Amino acid sequence: MGLLLGDLYRDKEAGEKYILRSDLDWTIVYPVTLTNGVRTGQYRVGEYLDLHGFPRVSRANVAHFLISQICDPKYLKKHVVISS
């Protein structure tokens, strides 16, 4: 994977380092495999999730979570994983 996606991972790492050094309020969200499913509002979020098999989450649920974080400081300045 490193050979195929090396530049992408380097860019991702550089961007995250920039965000971490900034004075911005941030939350970095790592969704598992994205689907085109509907928003159910039922998903798990955390700094560490116990994931098994081939975890998935709908784009609509990720969007729901992102919007919920606008006024919620729970995950401020944290990295979180989101999965169904």
Residue in this structure with the two tokens 């380092």, named with its chain if needed: 17
pLDDT, position 47: 96
DSSP at 31: E
pLDDT in tens, 5-53: 678 888 989 999 999 999 999 999 999 999 999 999 999 999 999 999 9
Compute CA 21 distance to the chain's CA centroid, rounded to the nearest angstrom: 19
pLDDT in tens, 68-81: 999 999 999 999 99
- The closest alpha carbon to 42, from 57, 31, 55, 27, belongs to 57
pTM attached to this predicted model: 0.86
Is residue 57 within 8 A of residue 35, CB to CB? The reply is: yes
Task: Give the pairing of strands 78-83 and 44-46.
Answer: antiparallel
pLDDT, position 8: 83
pLDDT, position 30: 96
